[in-house]
Structure 1
Amino acid sequence: MGKIKQTVRQDGLRIITKKLTYTQKVMFSVTSLMGSANDSEESLGLAHYFEHMVFQGTKNRDKDELERLLALYCITHNADTSHLRTRYYGESAKINYKKMVEVILDMYCNPIFPEDRIENERGVINNEIIMRHSSDDITVSENIITALYGDKSLAGRGVIGSKETIATVNREVLLKMHKEYYSPANSVIVVTGDVSHSEVVKMVNRFFPRIVGNYKSQKIEWNNDSCSLPSSQIIQEERPGRECALLCLGVKLKNFDFKERVILSILVKYFRKIVFDELRQKRGLVYTAGAYLNSERPLYNTFCLYAETAVANLDEIKKLMTEIILNKVCLEKYIEDIKQRILAESSVSLETTGDWNRAILGRVVLGEDDVSSLDNYFKNISEALNSIDLGMVERIFYENLNHKDNLAFSIVTNKI
């Protein structure tokens, strides 16, 4: 396994590789450091709409040819939009990776946005909006962010937009967005697999045009509003015909450093056990229950408990979940086992080309200029765990989680 290597072109394009000699797969991603947080309130969903349109044809290849080549050269390929970035990626056999890179960079650098495809994708996205709004899991997870940060905040207003906000998307708008946000200075390329860094740089230079004179990135310094109280104490959607209720209890977190992130992982595993034991094993009130971190740093961070229960149990579960998060933590008999589990999971968390690609890109989105610390990820986790004691974990808990006024609920249920 080789070290992470990075080249930054004069026009600002970052090219990062991680050599993995044990695999014949190569993962390639090219990412614009913009997402839905860059959309205006009136055009929310534009970044996501743009992502769809990149697949609809280029100056060199029409939509059908792109689909044929992606199927031919890629084991898997896709794109996704978050609040802070829009990523296009593919994984291929090593023998095909150069062709894969050429096709995906053609899509990224040379989209033409055919008028007929713009209208077609408007229909596709409207159906996606309906699908997402019909999903209980998506509704609960999105509404907890809205409850904590507010529906007008960049974090709380979602990614995909609405039928109304995407109605005015046209070719002129898409061309302007491409010019502003898909420049070299606002882009990062990550390649993971058994590849040569110099060969990757040479290939990218061939297919990603250089820009002379303007190297300015459009990236914004995002602010995590972690100090204010939740915008709403509860967002509850009532859907007739349901026999079960899905609920999430969340709290905002400040931006945290690496060691604090490890401590929060300890707390997640602790509360995952406590919630499951209290609600299912002891009382039989739920089928599923647990805890998780939901974070898109540096824009937002949340700590959440969740459960699915019969509608008749909803009030009791709300009360019990609130008591669990506000009670004194009793970590003494669990902390060493939890630390050992985190250490074991960390030892296998960066194995595949996809694992490495996502981890490197995540550090870039966080604003890190040097991502080489990932080469020592397991060592850093091990050292952090060895330095963490019970008092440190309790301090993070009482400073961040143990405050009733900071809690909010997101619920999907039948009418009660």
Structure 2
Amino acid sequence: MGIEIKKEVFPSGLRLVTENITDFPTVSLGLWLNVGSRDETHSQNGLAHFIEHLFFKGTHRRTAIEIAKELDRLGGYSNAFTSKEYTCLHGKVLPEDLPRFLDILADIFLNPLFSPEDIEREKQIILQEIKMLEDSPEELVHELFSSLLWGEHPLARPILGEWEVISRVSSEDVISFYKKHYKASNLVIAAAGKVEHEELLTLVQNYFDKLIAGEPQKRTSPKPFSTCGVQHRNLEQVHLALGMATPGTKDERRYGLLFLNTLLGGNMSSRLFQEVREKRGLAYAIYSYLSLYEDVGQLGIYVAVEKEKLKETLLVIKDELNSLMEDKISTEEFEAAFDNLKSALLLSADSPDSRMTRLARNEFIFGRYIPYEETVQKIKTLTPQDITTLAREVFAVKPTLALLGPISEEEGLSLYQELFEEK
């Protein structure tokens, strides 16, 4: 399989990165903005996500229905998302349709109408989206967890925004945020699949040559907190998220964190899944997850249990965290985790979407392309002792705990103090 990676940095700071894979029949392209919810003030919470929605509501050339029809005619798929650090407009099309697809994306990014009527209409849609989240305890508990872990920092706030902020968003708010952040210096255009770099370069030059340079995004790092929060709900189960801060994506310890998460609760053979579900039958779903940002990260554990089984479940979780700090990682367990990580990484290489995402994120974070082989080699050099050492660093602090369900604040705080006294 022939692969060629090229990069162009424009005078404005805009970057174009491509991965031409001659054997792929399709191409994935994304407009990546280094703008997310962590770049908002409290009074702006939700604006990045709001603007992502508004991009598809019409331009000076196209109405919303025309945008939808043109995207549908391409036959592939298109989508957009907002995260804590990024906004992305992306899709996958046939190579011959790439110019048409870029024309649409460039239009909605560069020429959004942001009409007052669209803003009022979309405001109602996003408020309904917030209600959907509030009706999903398995999702809402993670928002509660982040708000506890990061305190007043923007990383603590929900991507969708808060009801009070969204309900009063104005055209001026939207336009001001857009003008400040959506600049060439914060934009990476990434494409992977059957794509000719020079042809795409010419298209990008034609569409984005007048995009204002701006200043690269500057962010402040948060200070994590160890605390417990309880939100009472009349539910059948207590949903909990427990975890702590970790190093971020730029830290070389990220490879060890991937290993640590896999061992703890990253798959069906992980310690938490086996101990909590398979051996004790305490819960149907339990897992750990890793959310890495450029400078910090968070490792979280989610489980939903009956109130009567909450203490036992937390004790099992605590025991497994302690076990990972005590040189108890067997060779077999370690090798199985490595095989899992390696396979997941290399299997994702089959997807042009995954490769496009990897291109953009590597460019933002490291300023260069990181081959899959380099990542595998970094993971391969780790030892069980490395993971134990990292576990001692990450798990040594008192964890943060979010509880959502049929439990009072007094009960939750008392249980937290009993099980997680200062070390």
State the TM-score, normalized to the length of structure 2: 0.89
- 1:17 counterpart residue number: 18
% identity of equivalent residues: 22
**1:115-130 → structure 2 map (5 Å cutoff):** 115-130=116-131
Q: Residues of 2 paired with 1:168 and 1:283: CA distance? A: 49
* Structure 2, unaligned runs of 5 or more: 409-423
- 2:63 counterpart residue number: 62
Q: Deviations over 1:94-140 (max 9, x none)?
A: 23221111111100001111221111001101111111122112212
How many Å apart are 1:171 and its aligned residue?
2.3
- 2:330 counterpart residue number: 332
- 1:216 counterpart residue number: 214
How many Å apart are 1:25 and its aligned residue?
1.5
| 8 A contact 1:180–1:218 mirrored in 2 | no
| 8 A contact 2:32–2:187 mirrored in 1 | yes
- 1:322 counterpart residue number: 318
* Structure 1, unaligned runs of 5 or more: none
Letter in 2 for 1:384: K
Moved more, 277-286 or 107-116: 277-286
**1:151-162 → structure 2 map (5 Å cutoff):** 152-162=152-162
Q: Residues of 1 paired with 2:45 and 2:125: CA distance? A: 16
Is 1:291 the counterpart of 2:288? The answer is yes
Q: Residues of 1 paired with 2:206 and 2:316: CA distance? A: 60
**1:5-404 → structure 2 map (5 Å cutoff):** 5-150=6-151, 152-211=152-211, 215-225=213-223, 228-230=224-226, 233-240=227-234, 242-255=235-248, 259-272=252-265, 273-298=270-295, 300-327=296-323, 328-333=326-331, 334-366=333-365, 368-370=366-368, 372-373=369-370, 376-377=371-372, 379-403=373-397
Q: Deviations over 1:8-27 (max 9, x none)?
A: 11111111111122222211
User: Alignment RMSD, CA only?
Assistant: 1.9
Number of equivalent positions: 400
Q: Deviations over 1:284-321 (max 9, x none)?
A: 211122222122232x3111222222232112212221
How many Å apart are 1:69 and its aligned residue?
0.6
Moved more, 168-177 or 129-138: 168-177
**1:404-415 → structure 2 map (5 Å cutoff):** 405=398, 407-415=399-407
| 8 A contact 1:243–1:310 mirrored in 2 | yes
How many Å apart are 1:77 and its aligned residue?
1.2
| 8 A contact 1:73–1:97 mirrored in 2 | no
| 8 A contact 2:18–2:359 mirrored in 1 | no
Determine helix, strand or coil for the equivalent of 1:19: strand
Moved more, 194-203 or 245-254: 245-254
Moved more, 251-260 or 384-393: 251-260
Letter in 2 for 1:351: D
| 8 A contact 2:21–2:194 mirrored in 1 | yes
Closer, same or farther: CA 381–8 of 1 in aligned 2, 3 Å:
closer
Closer, same or farther: CA 66–168 of 1 in aligned 2, 3 Å:
same
Closer, same or farther: CA 256–202 of 1 in aligned 2, 3 Å:
closer
Q: Residues of 1 paired with 2:65 and 2:343: CA distance? A: 45
